[in-house]
Amino acid sequence: MESLNVLLLPEPGSGHLMSLIEAGKRLLGHGAAGGDDGHHGRELTVTVLVVRPPTPESALEVDAHVRRVAASSIGIRFHHLPAEDPPTDCGGNLQEFKSRYLELYKPHVRAAARELCASALVIDFFATPVLDVARELSLPAYVYFTSTAGLLALMLRLPALDQEFDTDFEAFEGTVDVPGLPPVPAGSTPGFMGRKNSPNFTWFVYHGRRFMDADGIIINTVAEVEPGLLAAIAEGRCVPGRPAPPLYPIGPVLDLDAKKDASNEACIRWLDAQPRASVVFLCFGSLGWFDAAKAREVAAGLERSGHRFLWALRGPPAAGSRHPSEADLDELLPEGFLQRTKERGLVWPRWAPQKAALAHPAVGGFVTHCGWNSTLESLWHGVPLVPWPLYAEQHLNAFELVSAMGVAVPLEVDRKRDNFVEAAELERAVRALMDGDSEEGRRAREKAAEMKDACRKAVEEGGSSRVALERLREAIREGARAATTTA
């Protein structure tokens, strides 16, 4: 039988691209949710359509990852699309920028689909305008959703919310109805929802509407981790009167291979010397950084908590960049802090080996920005969390981790002061998470252990994510057969 070529179109940010490549591995039968022998995926080939990242830093990171995957023997192919100049009039509207940038690639995706004899198209959720190309070419098209079922439910509901609310969400004091979640305080809605007249909000309303045009939505979550939300979406409660496209929860889609880096060996050696589950790990993602005011509050909170800590601290980006710099510890930390805490703490001033740290038995808690990839890594290892959201959908993720999943101890974050956290509040949350006699911490640890078990069972033979993956493969085969019949 001739193999079916599935084209993947990721958003060029490394988090989205790497997640979709991992999903491609699963389709081929490799990796945590795909088995190891690849026999299920033999009739499929997977080709990633590479969009040029818009900044030199992200281009370097993406190119390195593409080279690593291309050099491996797993069979993922890459097709570089012709470069387009990124839009220059988006201001700081990142979601608008991503959406408009991917929209520019519609003609190139059309040409690639014809040239590569595509059988199906899987697109990042920022690329929904490309669904028009799939319809034009009679190709089955799937949206790949890199975040939570909570955000998916909200985005599906967003066109209706846009009609229901006259005021800006940042000025609203009440709660927002997201089917499958407890009532969501307006202060926990994603940043893009703040002002209704912003291009970011307009684009998210558009994407939420277009999701309904897909042949299916592949989502990086686990049925047992977000059961109520997945049920609400599948039952059509987010878009009344219209059934949602089929859902394929195939997560956790993670690249769990911790890349060895000699510059980080001292960090892991330090963890090796700590007692089991005694260290709270603080790390805030590829874009997370602190100024001196925030860093000094963190330092004071950690020092007063009395607990061991590993803190990945990054400094402000250089002019013209979004990427954090290596931290100047003398400038960011209180005088004498490193000396006073040297027996029980380590401040790591650059990129930290997060995967290796979360897998390490010494780590017993994770203070995190709540990016979904980081959260899934934490759940995979059964590490409970303290959510400190910074941007994007992270405030909604934080709400869900505390109020729906129960795997986290809440932290009071002041959004009006650029997500500021007082030292006393961080001290309270770290103590609640790490103290052995804390009821709040005990519950979060128990729920995190349950989620670890659920994540690992889901990707085993017969597990929910493996079953969803086989349903997806069969849907792709059926779609290809239908397209051949009507051609």
User: Which residues are part of the catalytic machinery?
Assistant: 16, 124
Copy the structure tokens of residue 435. Answer: 């103290």
- Cα distances (Å, whole numbers) of residue 154 to 194, 221, 288, 393, 445: 14, 15, 24, 10, 28
How far is residue 423's CA from residue 70's CA, in Å, rounded to a whole number?
46
Q: Is the peptide bond before 252 cis (omega within 30 degrees of 0)?
A: yes
Which DSSP state fits 402? I
- Cα distances (Å, whole numbers) of residue 332 to 276, 295, 296, 430: 29, 6, 7, 21
How far is residue 235's CA from residue 218's CA, in Å, rounded to a whole number?
16
Please give the radius of gyration of the chain, using alpha carbons only, rounded to the nearest integer: 22
Copy the structure tokens of residue 422. Answer: 């007082």
- Which pairs from 38-41 meet CB under 8 Å and 24+ separation? 38/75, 40/469, 40/470, 40/473, 41/473
How far is residue 298's CA from residue 247's CA, in Å, rounded to a whole number?
40
The percent helix, strand, coil of the chain (3-state, each to 5) is: 50, 15, 40
How far is residue 284's CA from residue 311's CA, in Å, rounded to a whole number?
9
At residue 41, what are phi and psi to the nearest 5 degrees? -100, 5
